[in-house]
Structure 1
Amino acid sequence: MESREFIDMARRILDFESRVRERAADEITDRLNAYSPAQASALATLLSATAASEKEDGALESELHAILELMSTGHVGLDHISPLREIRLREQLPPEVREYVTDMLEG
């Protein structure tokens, strides 16, 4: 992925509007083969930090799904998604999403 596209994707992941963040996360999963190892790990780190403070359920689900897909590339390690540990699993997440996050953090 060209640098310009990567920066645009990073900006959209961090956008103020939850719809933009959700759409960006969905697009990430559509382009998994386009990322260099460094880009994949950077996107996972940004998505994890965003998900840790996400208030919108739809955006959170898309962010978590994108992280899981990026992990499947083999370029994302547990240290890249460590911000997910900031989510208080039992209090903040529906059961199906809680299981998703727990599985990711357990590797």
Structure 2
Amino acid sequence: MESRTYIELVRRVLAVESEVRERSADEVTDQLSTYSPAQAAALATLLSAAAASEEDNSALEAELHAILELMSTGHVLPQHVSQLQEIRIEELSAEIREYVADLLGD
């Protein structure tokens, strides 16, 4: 992916507004084949950090889904998403808990 496009996507993934973060996480999955291995790993790391501090359930679900899709590329390693361990799963819906468990290999 071209650097300018990638940086703009990263900015939206880290936006203040939860609606923007949610839409941007969805955009991440639409472009899986365009990322270099380094871009995929970096996006997964950023999304993992964002998810660990996410307060909006819809945005969290979109972020987790994007991470799962990025992992399917083979360029994302468990250490790239280690921040997910900070998520308090007991406060989440069963569906989102499953996402976290799948991502952490539990």
5+ residue gaps, structure 2, are: none
5+ residue gaps, structure 1, are: none
Q: How is 1:51-66 mapped onto 2 (pairs within 5 angstroms)?
A: 51-66=51-66
Q: CA deviation at 1:93?
A: 1.1
Q: CA deviation at 1:65?
A: 0.3
- 4+ runs of 1 displaced by more than 6 Å? none
Q: CA deviation at 1:103?
A: 1.1
Q: CA deviation at 1:99?
A: 1.2
What is the Cα-based RMSD across aligned positions, in Å? 0.9
* TM-score (norm. length: structure 2): 0.97
* TM-score (norm. length: structure 1): 0.96
Q: CA deviation at 1:64?
A: 0.3
Residue number in structure 1 paired with 2:38: 38
Q: In structure 2, what is the Cα distance between the partners aligned to 1:35 and 1:86?
A: 26
Q: How is 1:1-107 mapped onto 2 (pairs within 5 angstroms)?
A: 1-90=1-90, 92-106=91-105
Q: In structure 1, what is the Cα distance between the partners aligned to 2:92 and 2:52?
A: 11
- Describe the superposition over 1:41-93 as per-residue Cα deviations: whole angstroms up to 9, x where unpaired: 00000000000000111100000000000000000010000010000111x21
Letter in 1 for 2:98: E
Q: In structure 1, what is the Cα distance between the partners aligned to 2:28 and 2:69?
A: 9
SS of structure 1 residue aligned to 2:80:
coil
Q: Percent identity?
A: 65
- Describe the superposition over 1:27-46 as per-residue Cα deviations: whole angstroms up to 9, x where unpaired: 00000000000000000000
| Count of matched residue positions in the alignment of Structure 1 and Structure 2 | 106
